[in-house]
Amino acid sequence: MMPTLPVLRRRITQACGVLFLVLALVDLLPMLLGHGWSVFLFIKTLIEAALGVGLLLGNLFARRAAALLLLMVTIGLPIGYINPFNASDMMAGGGTAPSLASILLWMVPLELLLLFIVWAVDPLARERAAADIKP
Point out the least confidently predicted range of 30-44, 63-77, 89-103, 108-122: 89-103
Could you tell me if residue 134 is inside a domain?
no
| Mean pLDDT over each residue of the chain, to the nearest integer | 86
Mean pLDDT across the stretch 92-112? Answer: 84
pTM: 0.79
Cβ partners under 8 Å of residue 74, min gap 6: 111, 114, 115, 118
pLDDT recorded at residue 82: 77
Could you tell me if residue 75 is inside a domain?
yes
Give the domain extent around 112.
Answer: 5-127
Could you tell me if residue 29 is inside a domain?
yes
Could you tell me if residue 12 is inside a domain?
yes
pLDDT recorded at residue 98: 77
- Name the band, by pLDDT with cuts 50, 70 and 90, for residue 111: very high
Could you tell me if residue 83 is inside a domain?
yes
Question: Which comes out higher in pLDDT, residue 134 or 56?
Answer: 56
Could you tell me if residue 135 is inside a domain?
no
Q: Give the chain's domain count.
A: 1
Q: Is the model's pLDDT at 3 over the cut of 60? A: yes
pLDDT digits (tens, 9 = 90+) for 32-69: 888 777 889 889 999 999 999 999 998 989 999 999 99
Percent of the chain with pLDDT over 70: 90
pLDDT recorded at residue 1: 53
pLDDT recorded at residue 124: 76
Could you tell me if residue 41 is inside a domain?
yes
Could you tell me if residue 132 is inside a domain?
no
